[in-house]
Amino acid sequence: VNGIGERTGIVDLSTFVTATHVLDNENLKYDLKMLKSISAFVEKITGIYIYPLMPIMGDNAFTHKSGVHTDGVLKNPSTYEPFSPEMVGRERKIIVDKFAGRRAVMSKLEQYGIKATDEDLLRIIQEIKKVGDERKIVHDTDILDIAEKVLGFKAVTIPSGVDAVLFLRLEAHIYTTSVSRKIKNMKGVQKLYEMSGDEDIAIYASLKNVAELNNLIEDIRSIPGVLATSTRVVLKKYGEDNGNSC
C-alpha cells in the first residue's frame, strides 16, 4: 500500500490493482472505491506522507489546470483520464488560474449559479489573469468578487485586520500530521495544534481581511480528509501588548 516496502519500496497497491482492473475488467471484481480509505489509513499508522504526484492516490492525480487541458476533460473526461476518479474513490478538481480558459471559468461560475454572456465571461477571464499574475493561486472568492464587479453586483465592504481560530475535524482514517504539514505554511497561519477531543486540529490565523480568511478556509477544506471546519473570529486579545485588548 502506498508503495511502502523494503529499501526503495514496491509497486503501489492502488496503481497495480487499478491498472489490472482496467485491463481485465470482466474477470476481476474489486471495489476500487476502498483504495482511498486504505491508502489514508496506512498513511496514518505509518506516518509516511503520500507524495502529491503519486498516481491514483496523490493529491494531483485528478487535478486539471491549463486551458486546453480543462476544456478537454470537461467536454470528454477520457481525453485526460483513462478512468473516472469516482471509480477509485476520488474526485476531479478543476483549478482556475491565469492559464484558465473559457470552459474552466464557465464551469466554476456555474457551480455558484452565475450566468455570464460571452462578453462578460471574457472580461472575467481577463481579470482572473491579472490576479494570477500577481499571485499564483486564484481562489473561488477571487472569482466571485471579479464576477460581482463585472456583472454589476453590489460590492461588499470587507473589514480589514482579522484574527481567527479554526477548528478542524478529520476523517477517522486520516493521518493528522499529514494534514498539519499542508497547513502550517499557508498564508496567515500563526500557530497550529494537533489535539484530542472532538476536533483534531486547532489553528490560530491572522490575516489582512475577511477575503483572505475565506481563502485560507477554502484551501484547508480542499485538503483530502478534512471532514469539517469551524471558525471563530477573535474579538479581543488579552495578555499581549495590544491597545485594543481591554
pLDDT at position 238 is: 66
Q: Does domain 160-233 have CATH number 3.30.70.920?
A: yes
Of 64, 69, 139, 173, which residue is the catalytic one?
69
> Could you read off the pLDDT of 63-105 as tens digits, one per residue?
887 777 888 888 888 888 888 899 898 888 887 877 778 888 8
Q: Does 21 participate in catalysis according to the annotation?
A: no
Mean pLDDT in each 10-residue stretch from start to end of the chain (246 residues)? 82 88 74 87 82 87 81 86 89 81 84 84 87 76 84 59 92 89 91 93 91 88 89 78 44
Domain boundaries, the chain: 1-60, 62-84+91-156, 160-233
Question: For residue 6, what is the DSSP state?
Answer: S
**Res 156: pLDDT:** 47
Model pTM score: 0.55
